[in-house]
A and B are shown apart, each in its own frame.
Chain A
Amino acid sequence: MSERSLTSQAGRTSPTPGWADPKPARVTFDEWQDLFERVPEELVEEYHYFPPNREAFSKYLFPPQTFAIYGMRHLRRLKYDNSLAALRMWGFVQNETERLFRARQLGRRVIATMGDLGAVPVIVNSFPDCIAFYPDCIWWTPFAMESRVLFDAAAELGIGDATCFSRAALGAFAKHSYFPDPDLVIASTGASCDDYSGVEQLVERFAPDMMWVEEPMRCDMGRMGPMGPMLVKEYERVVERMEKLTGHEITDDELRAGVRQANRVRKLVKRLRELAFREGAMASLEMMVVEFGNLHHYSDITEWPHVLEHLLATAESRAAADTPVVDKDALRVVWVTPPADPLLLTYVEDAGARVVGTEYVINQALEIIDEDKPPLEAIAESFMAASLIGTSKARAQSAIDQAREYRAEGVIISGIFGGSHCAMEGRLISDYVKAALDLPVLEFDVTSPSREIALQIGTRIDAFLEVLRSRR
C-alpha cells in the first residue's frame, strides 16, 4: 500500500482529511521541514485567508522555513507541535503582515487598536470590510527576528531601553512596512500601563487619524462598578467614529453578530486551554499563540475560527486517545506575563515542565461576553475583567486560582527588562502567590533579543525546576 493511500485511509478519522498526523511530539525546525515535504499538494492549496477568497497569494499552509527565510531567525530554535493543525496555525499567524497589506489592497479598512487588548476590535470588526489589528503584538517581532531594528527605530524617536519591549510598535509605525498605515488608530489609555501609554502618545505623529479611549479603573464594587457606564460611553464614541469613517450606520444586530463572532473564538480557546492544561494536548508555545488570537483574530475573523477548530479537533483526539504532546507527568507550572522571548517556553518544556495556567495580561480577551445584554454594555462588562486595570492582587488571584485548579507545582513570572508596569508587578504577584500557596515562585526579567536563553536565566530555570522535582 502506498504512503498516500495509508494517509487517505487514516485521514477518514484524522482531524485533517487526507492526512494522518504522526504520533504527537514537539519537533525541531529541521524535523518540520521533513514533515512538510510529505504534506500533499492538495492540502497546501486548501487553506486560504479571507475566505471565500481563493487568490494564489492568500495560501498560508507554509512551514517555519518560509518565515525564517524572510528574517524570522528565532523560528530555527523553537520546537513545534507536529500536527498539521499546528502547522496551519503557524503559517496563518506568521502571514499576518502580508495579510494586512493585502486587506488594504482588497479595499478593506485597516484599523489599529492599541492598548486595551481585546475589547475595541469586537466593535471594529462588526463594521463591514473593517479589520482591526494590534500593533502591540509587534512586541514579539524583535525576538522572532533576533534583531534590534525596531528598538533602534523607536530609540531614534526618543524611547530607548528604559521602556518596555512594546516600544517596538513605535518603530513599526515609523517604518511603514510592518502593516499598512491604518485608516484610524484607536488608542486606549487611562488605568493602564504607563509604558504603553507613552508609546501610544509617540505614535500619534504617524497616525493620520487617531482617537483616544479612556479605560476606567476597576474598583471593588462589583464587575461594572461606577466606572462601567463611563466605558460604555467611550465605546459609543468608538461606534460614532467608525460610522463617520465608514459611512455605515451600524445596527444592533451587526454588533450582536460581532459579539457572537468574538465569543465563538473565546469558547474554542477556553476548551483548548482546558485540554492543554489538564491533558497536555497542546504545548505551551502553541497555546500562547492561541490565547493571543483572542485579541484580534490575527486580522482575519473569518478564517481564524477555522484554524482554532482544526487545533481543537486535534487536541480532542489526543485527549480521547490519551496521547498528549507534552508529558502529562511533567512538572506543572503557571506562567504569569507572556514571555517576550518564546524560546523560554521551549526551554522550560525541554527541561521537563509544562504550563497548566497563564496570566498573560489579557484576561479581558478570555472572558465570554454576555450575549443577552446590549452589546456595548456587554463588551464593557467583559473588559472590566482586564488584567491591567485592577490591582496586582487580582492578577495574582487569577494565577492562584489556576494553580489550585490544575495542581501547579510552581509559578514562573517573566518580566520585561526596562518595563515599568510588569517589572513593578512581578514582585507583588510573587508575594501574593507565596502567601496564598505553598509554592516556589521564579521571577526573572527577559533581556534583549538573542539567539539563545541567557545563561543566567537558563541556570535559574534549571535550578527552579530541580526544586520542584525535589518537592514531589
Chain B
Amino acid sequence: MKELLTPRERFGLLVIDEPQDRVPVFPLVTAHAARVARIPIRDYYTDGIAMARSQLAAQEFYGTDFISFFSEVGLVAEALGSRFSYPDDDLPLLAEPKWSELGELDDATADPMKDGRLRVYLDAISYAYEARADTVPILAYVPAPFTTAQQLVDQEAFLLGLLTEPERIHRLLEYATCSIIRFCRAIIGAGGLPILVDPLASGSVISAEHYREFALPCEAEVIRYLHRYDLDIVLHICGDTNPIIHIMPESGADLLSLDHVGLETAIAAAGDRCRIIGNFDTTAIMLSKPQEVADSVAAMVLAGKPCPRGFVAATGCEVPVETPPENVRAFVRAAKEAGANADWGARRRA
C-alpha cells in the first residue's frame, strides 16, 4: 500500500521531535544489497556506481526508509596506507596495517578524491543522491577515529598501548580524526549524511573507562564538526554497549544505533537525549523463519516506541550478506505494522 509520507518526510519529522505516521524502518542493509542487485560483493565495494545501484535496488525492493553506504570499517585506514585484500565475493580484509606497532606518525592526511576507496563512496553517494535524495535520506557510514586507529596499527599493539602508551594513542587518534573530518566534509559536499560507526569502541572490546578516555572525545570532535552543519548525527556502536550506553550521549550524537543492549535499558539511560535506533539480532534475522522474524520485530518495536526522543526500527548491526530476502521483507513489514501510529493524521489535526 502506498504510504502518505516519503522516508525523507518521515525522517524530517523525527529529527525535529515531531511524531511520525509510523516509526522509520532501517534494517542495516549494506553489502547485502549486492545480493539484491545480483553482483559480486567485490564490485559493490570497488565501484561506486555499482554500490549505488545496489543500494537503490535494495531500498526499493525492501521499502526501507534509508539508503546507507558501507562496506567495512577499514576505509579511512586504507586511504592512509593500511593494506587490504579484496576477495572476489567477500568484504575487504585487513592484510597489513600501516604500522605493526605504535611509533612515530607521518604527516599524511587522506585525500578523499584520490586515496584508497574513499572516492568509491563519494561516487556512490553522488549517484544515489541524484537518483533519489528527494524522497530518501542518503546515509554514509564513516569509521570513527578509535576504530580507524585499530586498522592503522596492529590491533594487539594498539590495545596494549591503551595501558602503556596513552600519549601515543592520543596522537594516533588525532591523526585519524584529521582524515576522518576531511572525508566527512567530502561526503557533505556530495549530499550524504555521515553516520559515525565505532564498533571497536564497544564494551565487547574495551572498558567503559577506556571508552570515555580515548574513543568518546574523538567521536565528540567529529560530531562537533558535523554539528557546525546542523546535521543530525547517528553514532553506531555494535556489540555490547551496556557498559557505555549512559556515556554515549556525551558524544553529542543525536541518534544512537545500538546492538547488544536491552531497549528498556537504552531508553532509560539515553532516550531523553537521543533517538534510539535498534536493535534486532542479526543472527536471528539470518537464521529464523520469516514469521519468527516478524513476531520478534513486532515485540522490539513495541518496546522501542515509547522512547521519548523517538525510535527507529533497525537491526543491531549489518544484515548478514546471506540473509534470505524474505526475512528482511518480514522485518520491514512487521516493523511498519507494529510501528504505525494509526491516529497520526487525525491527531495532528485535532
Chain A residues in contact with chain B, CB under 8 A? 30, 33, 36-37, 41, 44, 57, 59-60, 62-63, 65-66, 68-71, 73, 76, 97-98, 101-102, 105, 145-147, 149, 174-178, 180-181, 206, 208, 451
Write the nearest CB–CB distance from A152 to chain B, whole angstroms: 10
Instruction: Answer whether A41 and B228 are a contact pair too, CB < 8 Å, given A73-B129, A73-B130.
Output: yes
Query: What are 16 pairs between A and B in contact, CB < 8 Å?
Result: A33-B189, A36-B229, A44-B228, A60-B230, A65-B229, A69-B138, A69-B191, A70-B137, A71-B135, A71-B137, A97-B12, A101-B16, A176-B345, A176-B348, A180-B348, A181-B348
> In this assembly, does B105 line the interface, its C-beta being within 8 Å of a C-beta of chain A?
no
A8 to chain B, nearest CB (A): 20
Q: Which residues of B contact A69 (CB under 8 A)?
A: 138, 188, 191-193, 229, 231
Q: Which residue of A lies closest to B232 (CB)?
A: A70
Q: Judging by beta carbons under 8 Å apart, are B13 and A33 in contact? A: no
Ordered nearest first, which 4 A-B pairs have the shortest CB separation?
Answer: A147-B134, A177-B9, A145-B134, A62-B230
Distance, CA A315 to CA B17, complexed state (A): 38
The CA-CA distance from A180 to B193 in the complex, in Å, is: 25
Shortest CB distance A75–B (Å): 10
Interface centre among B138, B192, B230 (most CB of A within 10 A): B230
| Contact, CB under 8 Å: A73 / B230 | no
CB-CB < 8 A to A71: which residues of B? 8, 12, 133-135, 137
CB contacts under 8 Å to A, within B233-288, are none
Docked-complex contact A63 and B229, CB < 8 angstroms: yes
Residue of B192, B193, B344, B349 with most chain A CB atoms under a 10 A cut-off: B349
Q: Which residue of A lies closest to B225 (CB)?
A: A37
How far does the alpha carbon of A41 sit from the alpha carbon of B5 in the complex, in Å? 36
Given contacts A69-B138, A181-B348, 12 further A-B contacts (CB under 8 A): A33-B188, A33-B189, A37-B185, A44-B228, A63-B229, A65-B229, A69-B192, A70-B12, A71-B133, A73-B129, A73-B191, A175-B4
Residues 1-42 of chain B, each 1 if its beta carbon lies under 8 Å from chain A, else 0: 000111011101100111000000000000000000000000
Q: Which residues of A contact B191 (CB under 8 A)?
A: 68-69, 73, 76
A-B contacts counted at CB < 8 A amount to 81
Instruction: Please tell me if the beta carbons of B18 and A101 are within 8 angstroms of each other in the complex.
Output: yes
Q: Do A65 and B189 form a contact, CB below 8 Å, given A73-B133, A149-B134, A149-B135?
A: yes
CA distance A174 to B6 in the complex (A): 13
B193, A208: Cβ atoms under 8 Å? no
Answer yes or no: B163 CB below 8 A from chain A CBs: no
Using a CB–CB cutoff of 8 Å, the interface residues on chain B facing chain A are 4-6, 8-10, 12-13, 16-18, 129-130, 133-135, 137-138, 185, 188-189, 191-193, 228-231, 344-345, 348-350
Within the complex, the shortest CB–CB distance from B343 to chain A, in Å, comes to 12
Partner of A451, one of B18, B130, B137: B130
> Is the Cβ of B189 less than 8 Å from the Cβ of A147?
no
Q: Are B9 and A175 within 8 A (Cβ)?
A: yes
Taking a contact as CB atoms under 8 Å apart, the answer to whether B134 and A33 are in contact is no
Enumerate chain B residues within 8 angstroms of A149, measured Cβ to Cβ: 6, 9, 134-135
Q: Pick the contact of A59 from B9, B129, B192, B230 — CB < 8 Å?
A: B230
Q: How far is the CA of A44 from the CA of B65 in the complex (A)?
A: 31
A63 to B228, CA, bound (A): 10
Residues of chain B within 8 A (CB-CB) of A37 are 185
Q: Which residues of B contact A44 (CB under 8 A)?
A: 228
Known interface pairs A71-B134, A73-B133, A177-B9. Does A66 touch B349 (Cβ–Cβ under 8 Å)?
no
CA distance A105 to B16 in the complex (A): 10
Complex Cα distance A69/B228, Å? 14
Cα(A105)–Cα(B134), bound, Å: 26
On whether the beta carbons of A146 and B134 are closer than 8 Å, the reply is yes
| Identity of the chain A residue whose Cβ is nearest the Cβ of B18 in the assembled complex | A101
- Complex interface: chain A residues within 8 A of B344 (CB): 176
- Residue numbers in B under 8 Å from A41 (CB-CB): 228
Indicate the member of A65, A70, A175 with the most B CB atoms within 10 Å. A70
Which residues of A are found within 8 Å of B348, using beta-carbon distances?
176, 180-181
Max chain A Cβ within 10 angstroms of own Cβ: one of B13, B17, B228: B228
Query: B349 contacts which chain A residues (CB < 8 A)?
Result: 176, 181, 206, 208
Measured CB to CB, the closest approach of chain B to A53, in angstroms, equals 15
From residue B296, how far is it (CB to closest CB) to chain A in Å?
30
Residues of A within 8 A of B231 (CB): 66, 69
Q: How far is the CA of A44 from the CA of B225 in the complex (A)?
A: 12
B8 / chain A contacts, CB cutoff of 8 Å: 70-71
Pairwise interchain contact B229-A177, C-beta atoms closer than 8 A: no
User: With the chains together, A73 CA to B4 CA distance in Å?
Assistant: 21
Most chain B CB within 10 A, of A44, A59, A97, A176, is at: A176
- Establish whether residues A65 and B188, one from each chain, have CB atoms under 8 Å apart when the complex forms: yes
